[in-house]
Amino acid sequence: MALKRKKKATKARTAKKEPPEPLRVSAEPSANGDAPHARNGVAEDSDDVAVAPGRRRRATAKSMAAAQRDISVSEFFAKNRHLLGFDNPRKALLTTVKEAVDNSLDACEEAGILPEIWVHIEQTGTDRFKVGIQDNGPGILKKQIPLIFGKLLYGSKFHRLRQSRGQQGIGISAAGMYGVQTTGKPVKIISKVGTNKPAHYYEIQIDTKKNEPRILNGGGDGVDIQPGAKGDSAIAKHGIEWVDQPHGTRVTIELEAKFVRGRGSVDEYLTQTAIANPHVTLHYVDPDANLRDFTRSAKVLPPEPKEIKPHPYGVELGRLAAMLQDDNETVAQFLTTKFSRVSSGIARKLCAAAKVSTRANTRKMGRKEAEAIYQAIQNTRIAPPATDCISPIGEELILKGLHQVVPGEFYAAATRPPAVYRGNPFQIEVGLAYGGSAATQHVTKELLRELIDESDARTIRQFLIHTFNGLGADSADKIIRESGLGTRQSPSSLKPKQVETLLAAMKGVNVAEGQTMEVFRYANRVPLQFQPASCAITQTVLSTNWRSYGLSQSRGSLPKGPVTVMVHIASVWVPFTSESKEAVASYPEIQKELRLALQAVGRNLGMYVRRRLKVKQQGDRRQIFLRYLGEVATAVSDINNVDRAALYDQLVSVAKKRTADADMKLDDRGRPIEEAELEMGRNVLIVDPLDSAHNFAAVA
């Protein structure tokens, strides 16, 4: 009965349904003379749309035009901050420190000052940290401070061709913008240009709609702090953090972040920065108030790179046409003054090939003439650009930096001659460290507990692999088996006794053979810590045949062994894959130089590994001889009735002669002390493993 009533009610509703409204078509033609048209069953003309009942009114050309407006660059990056490296709290903290430290290093080097930098990270709340970075640089003029820290795409490095860490004028202002967005706290800057000069103190926010700084203190003009005791009391009154220096700048940003140790951490970034910048001294205070100092190992600044003009090979057709219209001079003058390596003779040759008069005015050059000049440039041989615009680290300083930070027994370095991609000069350097104990050997119980608390890994296996650099899956499995813990057990659930068991296994298991090569990537002395798979450096390391140099390697993977490789690209314009500057693009010219540099250090490593293996084999062989020579001498003396002691001495002498390689000693350049046949060159450093026990708790 209930089913019948339901069917009757449905039929009644269907019968009452009204017929659809008929199509309404305007009788007047549209503005262009065509017949009116209908959309979605409803007719419309050029201005008005007949909307069916219950339907949303469609946008018109007028309404869409009214909604158009300019987009500020600050507004764009505020909504797309992941493009600048602020896509998660952990990465945001590292990016903030990185941008500030890079700016400090550039400022000190340009002013000819040996850099000294203070990095202080303090936790102010749940997932909130205050980051302060100070340098001993030349300071910043008062009127420039708000623009540098409160405006995106403002800087001095974008339009010049010379090596520098920063390029786009985005980094530090973007970090301040992220801090304001996540905490609402302004960026605090104090800068001083001289001992007897006042310090300038600003509290700034970015107006994202206008891409302009908003100064919050001093009535919109900042605060000047006079030198002396009066200034010291003013600094204390305002709560300004400042390490007393005659000149320099300090920026403080409070932001939403997450502090971790291990890979991709601030600790790792500063450690790698010390390797590539041996002339810098770093003072680092972490959120747990632990102080770590990285003392400079070089007392001389790197050579200052010079600015150069763009090379003709690096200018595209559209850019060339725009440059021609910007100037009012002859074509010959334009070519010789706006480009490097273009002499008057080359300019005449280019004009002749393009069928353009050398005395023609550049503003009269149209698209056809510009394309002719462009094709002439491509077909004319022009000398490569000068290379004094880049400043490589150098083999000696690479060896010093690696030896100071990375434990090992063998070090090698190679610097390739300068090369060119798209008209931009660049230079590749590679350093290699081999041997030494794994990072797991230097961990204390307190540090391990701290690392476990900070880790977000789901299993102990994940924790070991992602926390300790170079520790592969095989080594992690060995440690877990030795400790007797579960493979899928969560690190956060470990009890104190289980932590002690894990620590004992980490120190007791030999993980040297199961270690994976660790790769440090640098661009203009700046560590690159993210997106390794999309970076040309990692891709070239993976494609190198390391088996030829005595290391075990599976196809398409990094080689196994206690090896650390650092690769540095120095260029006037590093081709990054994105604005966050995390990976180098794969240009064929760059990959070729990377491959040749890796092969150079690989050959030295192969010579050392084979020599060390030969010494070990001969030593093992001698031990076997000595183990049985006593019994052989006794048996022979009984049979032949000869003096056993004299026979034994003779047999030992023969055994030592046959295994003479076991006594070979190598000097600190990899050469045998008594032989000269093993020549590795001057770019190699070999140390006694017993003497290389650094205080290196690098859980990077």
Do residue 139 and residue 261 come from a single domain? yes
Q: Does 332 lie in the same domain as 222?
A: no
**In the predicted model, is pLDDT for residue 159 greater than 80?**
no
Domain that includes residue 468, residue range: 444-497
Residue 273: CB partners within 8 Å, gap ≥ 6?
Answer: 101, 280, 282, 294, 525, 526, 527
Is the per-residue pLDDT at 540 higher than 90? yes
**Residue listed under structure tokens 């632990």:** 290
Lowest mean pLDDT among 231-245, 500-514, 596-610: 500-514
Q: Tens digit of pLDDT for each residue in 445-500? A: 777 777 777 677 778 877 877 676 656 677 777 788 778 887 778 888 888 888 88
Q: Which residue do the tokens 């008062």 mark?
A: 142
The one-character DSSP state at 319 is H
In a domain, 694, yes or no: no
Q: Tell me: the pLDDT tens digits for 247-268?
A: 999 999 999 999 988 778 899 8
Q: Would you say residue 8 lies in a domain? A: no
Residues 184, 331: one domain? no
DSSP letters of 546-571?
GGGGT-B--TTSPPBSSEEEEEEEEE
Domain boundary among 468, 497, 526: 497
**Of 360, 379, 398, which one is at a domain's C-terminal end?**
379
Q: Among 178-192, 223-237, 645-659, 684-698, which stretch is predicted with the lowest mean pLDDT?
A: 684-698
254 and 113, same structural domain? yes
Residues 85 and 193 in one domain: yes
Contact yes or no for 168/579 (Cβ under 8 A): yes
For tokens 């994202």, the residue is 208
pLDDT at 348 over 80: yes
For residue 477, tell me if it sits in a domain.
yes
pLDDT at 676 over 50: no
Q: Residue 617 is encoded by which pair of tokens?
A: 């084999």
Give residue for tokens 């009452």.
16
Q: What is the CATH number of the domain that holds 173?
A: 3.30.565.10
Residue 575 lies in a domain: no
Helix (H, G, I), strand (E, B) or coil at 630: helix
How crowded is residue 663: how many other Cβ atoms within 10 Å of its Cβ? Answer: 12
Same domain for 321 and 234: no
- Domain assignment present for residue 604? The answer is no
The Cα–Cα gap between 411 and 395 comes to 11
Residues 262 and 318 in one domain: no
Task: Please give the pLDDT value at position 3.
Answer: 45
**Where does the pLDDT of residue 659 fall: very low under 50, low under 70, confident under 90, or very high at 90 and above?**
low
Q: Report the candidate in 566, 564, 567, 526 with the shortest Cα–Cα distance to residue 696.
A: 564
R_g (Cα) of the chain, nearest Å: 34
CA distance 325 to 457: 58
Give CA–CA dist 387/160, Å, rounded. 15
**CATH number of the domain within which 477 lies:** 1.10.8.50
Count of domains in the chain? 3
Residue type, 670: G
Q: Which amino acid is at 515?
A: Q
How far apart, in whole angstroms, are the C-alpha atoms of residue 70 and residue 497? Answer: 62
User: For position 699, what pLDDT does the model report?
Assistant: 33
Check residues 617 and 365 and name the one with the higher pLDDT. Answer: 365
Q: Which amino acid is at 111?
A: A
Question: What is the average pLDDT value for the chain, to the nearest integer?
Answer: 80
pLDDT at 38: 46
Residue 129 pLDDT > 90: yes
Q: Tell me how far apart the 2 most distant CA atoms of the chain are, in Å.
A: 135
Q: Do residues 586 and 593 make contact, with C-beta atoms less than 8 angstroms apart?
A: no
Q: What is the pLDDT of residue 516?
A: 82
pLDDT of residue 663: 56
User: Which one, of 47, 45, 43, 42, lies nearest residue 62 by Cα?
Assistant: 47
Q: Identify the pLDDT of residue 688.
A: 59
Q: 255 and 339, same structural domain?
A: no
Residue at 594 is within a domain: no
Domain-embedded: residue 131: yes
Nearest to 429 by CA among 302, 323, 306, 241: 302
Neighbours of 553 (CB within 10 A): 19
Greater confidence (616 vs 231) lies with: 231
Residue 434 lies in a domain: no
The reported pLDDT for the residue numbered 303 is 87
**Do the bridges between strand 281-285 and strand 116-125 make them parallel or antiparallel, or are there none, so unpaired?**
parallel
Q: Are residues 348 and 230 part of one domain?
A: no
Q: Are residues 374 and 457 in the same domain?
A: no
pLDDT tens profile 420-439? 888 888 999 999 998 765 55
Strands 563-571 and 518-523: what pairing?
parallel
Last residue in a domain, options 356, 379, 402: 379
Kindly state whether residues 163 and 229 are assigned to the same domain: yes
The verdict on 341 and 257 lying in the same domain is no
Over residues 360-373, the mean pLDDT reads: 91
220 contact partners, CB below 8 Å, separation of at least 6: none
CA distance 137 to 141: 12
pLDDT at 59 over 50: yes
Considering only CA atoms, which of 213, 262, 268, 242 is closest in space to residue 97? 268
Asked whether the predicted pLDDT for residue 211 surpasses 80, the reply is: yes
